[in-house]
Amino acid sequence: MLPTRKDFPQDFLFGVATSAYQIEGHSFGGAGPTHWDSFAATPGNVDKADNGAVGCDHYHRLVEDLDLIAGGNFDVYRFSTSWARVLPEGRGAVNQDGLDFYDRLVDGLLERGVKPAATLYHWELPSALADLGGWRNRDIANWFADYTRVIMERIGDRVWSAAPINEPWCVSWLSHFEGHHAPGLRDIRATARAMHHVLLSHGRAIEVMRDLGMSNLGAVCNFEYVEPADNSAETARAVATYDAIYNRFFLGGIFKGEYPQEVLEGLAPHLPTGWQDDFATITQPVDWCGLNYYTRKIIGPADTPWPSLEERPGPLPKTEMGWEIYPDGLEYFLKRTARDFTGDLPLYVTENGMAAPDRLENGAVQDDDRIDYINRHLGAVQRAVQAGVPVKGYYSWSLMDNFEWALGYDKRFGLVHVDFDSLERTPKASYHAFRKALTR
């Protein structure tokens, strides 16, 4: 059982989320190559060397998938547009087929009474731009602005909301410092530049969308609760550094026009010259803030160069990703974001969900663990709402099982099961639980 609509404020919205490369099938419809294709083609980067070439074949099964969204009684669908599907070389020639696809997607949602919530970048950078340095190159802010104009000139009149970049931490830190995602770098200078250019690109995209007359524009960041491994001063320092990199850097840039001191300690020498002058663009006013939240980390100090910290194993029950289940962290971030960064601005939980060892048996998937996870996180949202935080919606990640990046297709986050041989969709118990809870 999940709480129902009447357990939330009347204007509270429920949605499901996906992203382009994870579901569409990037080999279809004239999309250009991306850095995720080459990253996945490099041995050792992705489990089983899987990639997004076929995904869930959403490109061809759009109608069926839109019916699933509407059939689940969801109010809003958060999807991303693929830069390389719209502009196969990242700049220049437009792929009309790509624009037509997103046009059909938006119209199909509206016909079904579902609000379209667009994200412009969910990680598949066109290879031609990766060749030019990708997020390390300051010019990316203008390339991104141009792409924003091309796609939003086509669908911007009908999307309900739009956000430039999904999870700036993943785009920059995870991909340029930890090397776990494309382009797979482990380089502090590349990281500093990517972190700053992601925010500059965010600001440029907001400017372009305002110029097009669009409204309801937001920013989507991801958060991890940080628990100290012990009570020592070294641990407190490590925790503050982790929290600053992960949870405060991007909000700080967008909402305050400043970066946390703990991050500047390590990254200042590597940031591009004149980075402070970019805050006028980065702080373009937005209309809402989205929080993606899944887990917490236990952090302690490490005898390594900055940031001099390491993750320790935690005692709580874990999802298939090995992530501890910690709903209190969501309540904490909703409250803290409003208190320290966004004030009265509407907040949305733009992603939350779990990978589970789902099994399709007799045509059904009984994913009670996922229902429990969602239930507990919706409880955290309710507590934040009761405390006066302006939380306006919750999106479940994800509509359906999909390409979980470096972990391939085995980590299933969906409310709908996908058989990756036949591509058949089967709504899980969690989907049916939402359908009942959201009946109008």
Using CB under 6 A, list all residues that contact ligand IFM. 19, 22, 167, 292, 351, 397, 404, 413
DSSP code string of 117-139:
EEEEESS--BHHHHTTTGGGSTT
Catalytic one of 124, 324, 351, 404: 351
Q: What is the largest CA-CA distance in the chain?
A: 61
Question: Residue 56 has which token pair?
Answer: 């869930």
Q: How far is the CB of 285 from ligand IFM (least distance, A)?
A: 25
| Distance of alpha carbon 153 from the chain centroid | 23
| 8 Å CB contact between 174 and 180 | yes
| 8 Å CB contact between 430 and 413 | no
- HEC assignment per residue over 363-409: CECCCHHHHHHHHHHHHHHHHHHHCCCCEEEEEEECCECCCCHHHCC
Closest CA to 117 of 343, 337, 294, 348: 348
- Nearer Cβ to ligand IFM (262/367): 367
- Nearer Cβ to ligand IFM (135/275): 135
Q: How far is the CB of 377 from ligand IFM (least distance, A)?
A: 14
- Nearer Cβ to ligand IFM (19/148): 19
Q: How far is the CB of 428 from ligand IFM (least distance, A)?
A: 17
Active site includes 207? no
Q: How far is the CB of 212 from ligand IFM (least distance, A)?
A: 26
Catalytic one of 167, 324, 331, 404: 167
- Nearer Cβ to ligand IFM (358/404): 404
Active site includes 361? no
- Nearer Cβ to ligand IFM (229/355): 355
Tell me the three state secondary structure of residue 269.
Answer: helix
Q: How far is the CB of 217 from ligand IFM (least distance, A)?
A: 20
- Contacts (Cβ under 8 Å, ≥6 apart) of 393: 12, 13, 14, 15, 75, 76, 348, 349
- Nearer Cβ to ligand IFM (77/413): 413
DSSP code string of 146-205:
HHHHHHHHHHTTT-SEEEEEB-HHIIIIIHHTS--STT----HHHHHHHHHHHHHHHHHH
Q: How far is the CB of 210 from ligand IFM (least distance, A)?
A: 26
Task: Give kind and range of the element (H or E) at residue 93.
Answer: none
**Whole-angstrom distance, CA of residue 283 vs CA of residue 297:** 29
Which residues does the annotation mark as catalytic? Answer: 167, 351
